[in-house]
């Protein structure tokens, strides 16, 4: 017997409908699987991309911190240096920077004239904001930002918009080969509270020693030779202590002329620095021989330290704060003290010095301090230190300190960060309750 044609057509239609339903179920299953597999991967890659964006923004902010520290202007200018650092960090983190803008300390994007790139309702307007790579930095005369009121300050940060392309696994089957992850990060150079982390000790002690902003070396007679470039960062190095002369690494006496070198040991063990506003001039040169001398009891532990070298080794393996100076001022003959208030302290050519900067020694030298360096002292168990300690001060360690430049004393460690403008608190440097400047990710 043969089925009627009408019945055969009905069964054929039902089979076609079932096929459509089956295809639909398969597509839905693929879509659900894509959500689970590719969705999870996208979430993971979003986190990775955000970390990369954060690091890239911080790289730009570090350049701005170095600028605030009055380090030597890069050959291509500050904007070009920010561009280069962003590109290097983005490449290392596999993130594409779609756009980057300059901001103030509050993270408010700035126009080229230094005013806020904001709409009437207070929301940001990146369409009028100055992009990184425009050939310069935002101008203007803003000095005192007020974040709650949206009053902007000078350029202090970098906002980046990043992207990362994520390949699809399951979604490829339904015509979606990739996903695009968008990220955003802003980092600034500005005030931080308690900047030193627990891993770096309870605080970063301020060592009573001033180091030039730029590299110094010693000649064959152990006399200072001034360099023209900043210190390298995150590289273990020997910082030579040459003979005493203007421009050399110099020991500090926080309350001169009393005490002199005999106070240095206690100033190291129990930090007693005053609050230091950056930038400012300081009359703190220590006179006398620092190669030994002096005992001091640690107020924390009761341990007795003898001599400067022994005292500094208290901090081996830890981060300390070291004042940096970019010029000296010779005063005398009833001249007034250097001016440490803005704008004089920042105004060329004298920067507040009553005469042309330079020279000075003994008790008639002033240091202009534009920044502090975070310096991690070596300790023998650190593989990067080659069995060396953080300090060799006795003046007889040429086998450690002489890198071909005649030095017999030195510090050994690495510069890991910089802080500029602001106030380093008294006594314990940037410990609890004190303010310093560093690079901070804000959003």
Q: Is the pLDDT of residue 422 over 70?
A: no
295 forms bridges with which residues in the sheet? 306
- Tell me how far apart the alpha carbons of residues 218 and 211 are, in angstroms, rounded to a whole number: 14
Residue 32 lies in a domain: no
Q: Do 422 and 437 form a contact (C-beta atoms < 8 A)? A: yes
Q: Is the pLDDT of residue 404 over 50?
A: yes
The percent of residues above 90 in pLDDT, for the chain, comes to 20
If asked whether residues 326 and 363 sit together in one domain, one would say: yes
| pTM for the structure as a whole | 0.55
The pLDDT confidence band at residue 191, using thresholds 50, 70 and 90, is very low
Pick from 144, 160, 202: which is nearest to 56 by CA? 160
Q: Is the pLDDT of residue 286 over 50?
A: yes
Identify the weakest region by mean pLDDT among 250-259, 279-288, 329-338, 414-423. Answer: 414-423
- Rounded (10°) CA dihedral 245, 261, 312, 329: -40
Count of CB atoms situated within 10 Å of the CB of 101: 22
Tell me 274's DSSP state: P
Count of CB atoms situated within 10 Å of the CB of 414: 21
**According to the model, what pLDDT value does residue 65 have?**
78
Between 162 and 246, where is the model more confident? 162
The pLDDT confidence band at residue 16, using thresholds 50, 70 and 90, is low
If asked whether residues 131 and 250 sit together in one domain, one would say: no
If asked whether residues 257 and 136 sit together in one domain, one would say: no
Helix (H) or strand (E) holding 18: helix 5-68
Per-residue DSSP letters for 59-125? Answer: HHHHHHHHHHTTPPPPTT-HHHHHHHHHHHHHHHTT-EEEEEEEE-TT--BB-TTSSB-B-TTS-B-
Q: Is the pLDDT of residue 195 over 50?
A: no
Tell me 284's DSSP state: -
Total domains in the chain come to 2
Q: Is the pLDDT of residue 121 over 70?
A: yes
**According to the model, what pLDDT value does residue 430 have?**
41
**According to the model, what pLDDT value does residue 68 have?**
67
The pLDDT confidence band at residue 47, using thresholds 50, 70 and 90, is confident
| Final residue of a structural domain among 159, 193, 227 | 193
| Final residue of a structural domain among 161, 178, 193 | 193
The pLDDT confidence band at residue 281, using thresholds 50, 70 and 90, is very high
Q: What is the pLDDT of residues 66-102, one digit of tens each?
A: 776 656 788 889 999 999 999 988 888 888 889 999 9
If asked whether residues 100 and 246 sit together in one domain, one would say: no
Residue 16 lies in a domain: no
- Tell me how far apart the alpha carbons of residues 205 and 317 are, in angstroms, rounded to a whole number: 13
Residue 309 lies in a domain: yes
Residue 30 lies in a domain: no
Q: Is the pLDDT of residue 196 over 60?
A: no
**According to the model, what pLDDT value does residue 135 have?**
92
Residue 312 lies in a domain: yes
Tell me whether the omega of the peptide bond preceding residue 279 falls within 30 degrees of 0, making it cis: yes
Residue 252 lies in a domain: yes
If asked whether residues 181 and 211 sit together in one domain, one would say: no
If asked whether residues 264 and 180 sit together in one domain, one would say: no
Residue 23 lies in a domain: no
Q: Is the pLDDT of residue 201 over 90?
A: no
- Tell me how far apart the alpha carbons of residues 78 and 51 are, in angstroms, rounded to a whole number: 25
Q: Is the pLDDT of residue 136 over 80?
A: yes
Residue 24 lies in a domain: no
The pLDDT confidence band at residue 198, using thresholds 50, 70 and 90, is very low
Q: What is the mean pLDDT of the chain?
A: 77
| Final residue of a structural domain among 153, 171, 193 | 193
If asked whether residues 281 and 209 sit together in one domain, one would say: yes
If asked whether residues 375 and 268 sit together in one domain, one would say: yes
What burial class does residue 57 get, using C-beta atoms within 10 Å of its C-beta: 0-12 exposed, 13-18 middle, 19+ buried? buried
Structural domain containing residue 231: 198-438
């Amino acid at each position: 017997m043969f089925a009627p044609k009408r019945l055969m057509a009905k069964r054929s239609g039902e089979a076609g409908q079932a096929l459509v339903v089956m295809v639909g179920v398969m597509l839905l299953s693929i879509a659900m699987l894509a959500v689970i597999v590719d969705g999870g991967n996208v979430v993971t890659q979003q986190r990775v991309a955000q970390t990369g964006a954060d690091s890239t923004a911080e790289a730009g902010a570090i350049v701005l911190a170095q600028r605030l520290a009055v380090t030597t202007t890069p050959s291509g200018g500050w904007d070009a240096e920010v561009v280069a650092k962003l590109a290097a960090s983005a490449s290392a983190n596999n993130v594409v920077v779609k756009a980057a803008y300059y901001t103030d300390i509050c993270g408010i994007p700035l126009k080229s004239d230094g005013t806020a790139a904001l709409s009437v309702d207070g929301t940001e307007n990146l369409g009028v904001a100055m992009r990184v790579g425009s050939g310069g930095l935002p101008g203007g005369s803003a000095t005192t930002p007020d974040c709650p009121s949206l009053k902007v300050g000078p350029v202090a940060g970098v906002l980046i918009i990043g992207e990362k392309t994520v390949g699809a696994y399951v979604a490829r089957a339904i015509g979606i080969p990739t996903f695009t992850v968008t990220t955003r990060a802003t980092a600034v150079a500005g005030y931080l509270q308690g900047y030193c982390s627990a891993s770096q000790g309870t605080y970063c002690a301020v060592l009573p020693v001033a180091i030039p902003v730029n590299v110094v070396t010693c000649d064959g007679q152990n006399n200072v030779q001034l360099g023209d470039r900043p210190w390298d960062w995150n590289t273990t190095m020997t910082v030579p202590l040459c003979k005493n002369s203007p421009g050399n690494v110099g020991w500090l006496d926080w309350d001169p002329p009393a005490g002199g070198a005999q106070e240095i040991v206690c100033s190291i063990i129990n930090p007693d620095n005053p609050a230091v506003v950056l930038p400012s001039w300081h009359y703190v040169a220590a006179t006398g021989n620092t190669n030994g001398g002096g005992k001091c009891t640690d107020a924390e532990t009761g341990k007795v330290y003898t001599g400067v070298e022994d005292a500094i080794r208290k901090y081996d393996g830890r981060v300390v704060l070291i004042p940096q100076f970019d010029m000296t001022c010779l005063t005398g003959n009833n001249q007034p003290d250097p001016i440490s208030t803005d704008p004089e302290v920042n105004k060329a050519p004298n920067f507040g010095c009553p005469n042309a900067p330079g020279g000075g020694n003994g008790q008639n030298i002033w240091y202009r301090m534009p920044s502090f360096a975070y310096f991690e002292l070596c300790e023998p168990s650190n593989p990067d230190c080659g069995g060396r300690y953080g300090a060799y001060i006795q003046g007889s360690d040429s086998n450690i300190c002489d890198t071909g430049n005649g030095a017999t004393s030195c510090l050994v460690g690495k510069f890991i960060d910089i802080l500029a403008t602001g106030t380093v608190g008294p006594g314990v440097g940037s410990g609890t309750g004190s303010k310093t400047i560093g690079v901070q990710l804000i959003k």
